[in-house]
Structure 1
Amino acid sequence: MAGDEGEPIEVRIPRAALDAMAAALSVRTVAMRTWPDGIEWMYPLGTWDEPHLEVALMPGGEEVWLRMSTDRSRVVVWTIEQWWDFTRQLPGATSPE
């Protein structure tokens, strides 16, 4: 996602937060919260009170948004292909096709 001037912004996702999301997805233990704007964000179950990675599938299924709970104003936008590449690397992952 670009900043106000069209410049790329930087989002830092700590390795521990990414690892926690990967583990949660691999055993299907994610929780979901819907924001007032209607976007439903997934996060690793049991991590709401600590810094965690949040993931949202955008309508149409072409983009996945990622953000850290510590700075929800910054969002990384992945294509669905990038998301599948990430999830295929998880232990026990199966192909979506």
Structure 2
Amino acid sequence: MEAFEPERSEVRIPRAALDALAVALSVRTAAMRTWPDGIEWMYALGSWDEPHVEVALMPGGEEVWLRMSTDRSSVAVWTIEQWGEFAGGLPGATPPA
């Protein structure tokens, strides 16, 4: 299987889509789908039929990829530190060890 290398670019994620993901993560209602390339993408449960943000933790745990369901060819890359800052600020988040 050939590795997927997305176009790393600026991805416009509407605030509502990011907020929906944040809510889903904070109450642990994120769903996952595995793409044919083996990457597991998380998204807010119940949002599949509308534009939504998708997030994947890359192997090695050093990068998190974000994309919009409306343009899956463009991916924003966050460092694990950026992701930790975002996820750590959610209600109910546990502090890092």
TM-score normalised according to structure 1 size: 0.89
Q: Provide, for residues 59-88 of structure 1, a one-character-per-residue CA deviation record: whole Å limited to 9, x for no partner.
A: 011110000000001100011110000011
Contact 2:6 2:73 in 1 (8 A): no
Identity %: 78
Contact 2:56 2:65 in 1 (8 A): yes
For residue 46 of structure 1, give the secondary structure of its aligned residue in structure 2. Answer: coil
The residue that corresponds to 1:49 in the other structure is 49
Runs of 4+, deviation exceeding 3 Å: none
1:2, distance to aligned residue in structure 2 (A) = 8.7
TM-score normalised according to structure 2 size: 0.89
CA distance in 2, matches of 1:52, 1:2: 18
- The answer to which structure, 1 or 2, has the higher relative contact order (CA under 8 A, 6+ apart) is 2
Cα RMSD (Å) = 1.7
Gapped runs of 5+ residues in structure 1? none
CA distance in 1, matches of 2:32, 2:9: 26
